[in-house]
Structure 1
Amino acid sequence: MTSTNVNFLEQSVSKFQNLDIDDRLTVLALLYTEIADEIPALALPAAGIALNDVPNEKTANLVAQIQNLPQAEQLFALRQLLNQDKAEETAIPTEEYTSMNADDKLAFWYQLAQNLGTTIIGVPDDYIPSEKATEVVDLLNTPNIEDLVTFFKRVL
């Protein structure tokens, strides 16, 4: 395993966590879309993203629950999951997500990203990310997929 740049990761995680929830969702959508476009699915397990041919039941069930919601409710549910806010009523049980390990959360968000714009609400074509969100995406625009995976595991 290659060594990761700790300062780079700390800076990326800190900047990401300081974004508002919609900017965080945008950053995740943009980064996962980038991964999906640039890295064949076969290479993902080698990079530390554990994806089976058959998604595990927990992640598949949660993705299906979100897919079955109207788009406006999907966005609300994703905000709640990312915020991990148990205080508010949600359309899906957040404890399913919070009980997942880091690999399952990675697989969950990757499965969602594969369906962005089809069965999962996507980032609108005319949406312009905030300057802070763009800064995080630019910071994470790295050829080292392991750094990106480490980032995801830290923020999800």
Structure 2
Amino acid sequence: MTASYNKTISHQAQSQETQNLVAEFNALDTDAKLAWLYFVYEKMGDTVTPAAPSAAEPELAPMLLGDYLQLSDEEQLEIMRDIVNCQDTDYSRAYGALKENNQLLVWYVWAEAMGDTVVGMPDNYESTEAINDLLARIEEIDFEGQISVLRTIAGEMGFSDVKPIATQAETGKTSSL
């Protein structure tokens, strides 16, 4: 199974700290990842969100930002889980086809609508120490680091069978016009 096409992006552009945060996120179970994303947007939505909308194109995600909102809570939760787990489903493919800024916009819209048109957190939900620690750590890094972590996390979710184009170094061939 292949996640979003950009999963193989080099981590060289990220600091060791942001790479560690992504690795710790990836170690969480599916529902803990969903809870963490919700808490990030709950706590940091006002600062995280302005980075994406100017570069986002919500019209590219009608299935995720329109149709999705009409589904039952159970269907919505299953779709979120499928996206986090990179399952090969229609919604996960729709998500995987998006660039990171649009993927961040999807999570933002869903977080903003939670409890209204999007399935909410269970009333009795208690956050784990791992979620709380990861949330505290992302709050401690600068804005660019936060966006780097969130873009990486968002970009590793969803399903796409699109493969990255091989580089000249990999093929030994030069590109032609």
TM bucket normalised to smaller = 0.7 to 0.9
Instruction: Report what 2:19 is aligned to.
Output: 10
Q: 1 CA distance for matches of 2:85 and 2:37? A: 13
Instruction: Report what 1:39 is aligned to.
Output: 47
**1:108-123 aligned within 5 A:** 108-123=106-121
| TM-score normalised by the chain length of structure 1 | 0.80
Mapped pair 1:139 → 2:137: yes
Instruction: Report what 1:77 is aligned to.
Output: 79
Q: 1 CA distance for matches of 2:150 and 2:67? A: 22
Mapped pair 1:56 → 2:64: no
Q: 2 CA distance for matches of 1:31 and 1:40? A: 9
How far does residue 112 in structure 1 lie from its aligned partner after superposition?
1.1
Instruction: Report what 1:26 is aligned to.
Output: 35
Where does the alignment leave 5 or more consecutive residues of structure 2 unmatched?
A: 1-12, 155-177
Aligned mate of 1:65, from 64, 67, 76: 67
SS in 1 for 2:134: helix
Q: 1 CA distance for matches of 2:61 and 2:105? A: 7
Larger radius of gyration: 2
User: What stretches of structure 1 move > 4 A for 4+ residues in a row?
Assistant: none
Instruction: Report what 2:8 is aligned to.
Output: none
Instruction: Report what 1:106 is aligned to.
Output: 104
Where does the alignment leave 5 or more consecutive residues of structure 1 unmatched?
A: none
Q: 1 CA distance for matches of 2:23 and 2:116? A: 31
| TM-score normalised by the chain length of structure 2 | 0.71
Tell me, yes or no, if the aligned pair for 2:48 and 2:147 is still in contact at 8 Å.
no
Q: 2 CA distance for matches of 1:40 and 1:104? A: 13
Partner deviation per Cα, 1:91-114 (whole Å, 9 max, x = no partner) = x53211111111111111111111
Instruction: Report what 1:97 is aligned to.
Output: 95
Alpha-carbon RMSD across the aligned residues, in angstroms, is 2.4
Partner deviation per Cα, 1:7-41 (whole Å, 9 max, x = no partner) = 220111010001000000000000011122x4396
Tell me, yes or no, if the aligned pair for 1:59 and 1:107 is still in contact at 8 Å.
no
Identity across matched positions, percent = 22
Aligned mate of 2:122, from 124, 136, 142: 124
